C-alpha cells in the first residue's frame, strides 16, 4: 500500500487575558499530533502573549476584539504556514487538549469537519452553566430543523480541513463564529462528525457565560446568525 502523507495540523487558540491558563493549554497539546501552535493575542491587557511565547507557541496579535476576528487571523497564518487541518480550542483550560487525537481521528478517516461535543462527553459539575446548556440546545435544534444536520454542541474544540474551511468563507467577527461554521458545514453538505470530549471549569471568569451581559450578548448574536441564514434559505 502507498504511504499516506500525514496531514499537517496547526492549532489556533484565540486568547484574551488568559495569562493564568495559556501555558497549561499549550503544554497539554500532544506535540506529536501538530506542526504548530498559534496563539492569537486578542487585545489582552495582561501577559498572555509573553506566557504563550515562553510555552513554545507562535504568537500573533489581533487588535480587533472578537472571537471571530482572532480565529480569522489565526486561519490566515495557519494557511500561510501550510496547514491541511486547523484545530480550534479555547485558551482558558476548560477544554482538554489531550483529547486532540479523538477530535482528529474522524478527519484522518475522511471527515471534513469535527466538533468536540461537551454535552455527550464527560464534563465537570458546574463547567457547563445552565444558560450555556440551554443555548446549545436551542441553536443545535434549529440547525437540525432548518438544515438537517445533527449537532449536540457549539463547542469550541473543533477541527476542520483547510479546503473545507476555505469553502465556508467565514466572516462572523464575534460570538456568532462557532454557529456560523456549523451552519455553513450543513449548507455545504460537508462530512460532519461529533466526538465526545471532556470539559472542566475554566481558569478565571468567563467573558461570555460568566456574566449576564455576556450571556445575553452571545445568545442574541447566535440567534441573529441563525435567523439571517434561515432567511437566506427562504
Q: How many Å apart are CA 207 and CA 113, to the nearest integer?
A: 26
Is the whole-model pTM more than 0.75?
yes
Edge-first strand listing for the sheet containing 58-61: 58-61, 36-41, 9-15, 85-88, 158-161, 113-117, 192-196
Q: What is the mean pLDDT of residues 166-185?
A: 96
Distance of CA 226 to the CA centre of its chain: 18
Segments forming the whole domain that contains residue 141: 9-233
Does some domain include residue 4? no
- Whether the per-residue pLDDT at 3 is higher than 60: the answer is no
Does some domain include residue 3? no
118-161 pLDDT tens trace: 999 999 998 888 888 888 999 999 999 999 999 999 999 999 99
| pLDDT grade for 116, boundaries at 50, 70 and 90 | very high
70-95 pLDDT tens trace: 999 999 999 999 999 999 999 999 99
Mean pLDDT value across the chain = 93
Does some domain include residue 2? no
Does some domain include residue 47? yes
Does some domain include residue 126? yes
Number of separate domains in the chain: 1
| pLDDT grade for 219, boundaries at 50, 70 and 90 | confident
Does some domain include residue 1? no
19-61 pLDDT tens trace: 999 999 999 999 999 999 999 999 999 999 999 999 999 999 9
| CATH number (domain holding residue 103) | 3.90.550.10
Q: Which H or E run includes 180? A: helix 177-187
Amino acid at each position: 500500500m502507498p504511504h499516506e502523507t500525514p496531514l499537517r495540523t496547526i492549532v489556533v487558540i484565540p486568547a484574551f487575558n488568559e495569562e493564568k491558563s495559556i501555558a497549561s493549554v499549550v503544554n497539554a497539546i500532544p506535540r506529536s499530533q501538530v506542526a504548530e501552535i498559534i496563539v492569537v493575542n486578542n487585545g489582552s491587557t495582561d501577559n498572555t502573549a509573553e506566557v504563550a511565547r515562553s510555552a513554545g507557541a507562535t504568537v500573533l496579535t489581533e487588535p480587533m476584539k472578537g472571537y471571530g476576528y482572532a480565529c480569522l487571523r489565526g486561519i490566515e497564518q495557519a494557511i500561510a504556514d501550510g496547514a491541511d487541518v486547523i484545530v480550534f480550542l479555547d485558551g482558558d483550560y476548560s477544554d482538554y487538549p489531550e483529547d486532540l487525537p479523538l477530535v482528529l481521528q474522524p478527519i484522518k478517516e475522511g471527515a471534513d469537519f469535527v466538533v468536540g461535543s461537551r454535552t455527550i462527553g464527560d464534563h465537570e459539575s458546574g463547567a457547563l452553566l445552565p444558560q450555556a446548556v440551554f443555548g446549545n440546545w436551542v441553536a443545535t435544534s434549529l440547525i437540525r430543523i432548518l438544515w438537517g444536520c445533527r449537532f449536540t454542541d457549539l463547542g469550541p474544540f473543533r477541527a476542520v480541513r483547510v479546503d473545507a474551511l476555505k469553502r465556508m468563507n467565514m466572516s462572523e467577527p464575534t460570538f456568532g463564529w462557532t454557529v456560523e461554521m456549523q451552519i455553513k458545514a450543513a449548507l455545504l453538505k460537508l462530512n460532519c462528525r461529533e466526538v465526545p470530549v471532556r470539559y472542566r471549569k475554566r481558569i478565571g471568569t468567563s467573558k461570555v457565560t460568566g456574566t449576564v451581559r455576556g450571556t445575553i450578548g452571545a445568545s442574541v448574536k447566535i440567534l441573529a446568525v441563525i435567523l439571517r441564514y434561515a432567511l437566506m434559505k427562504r
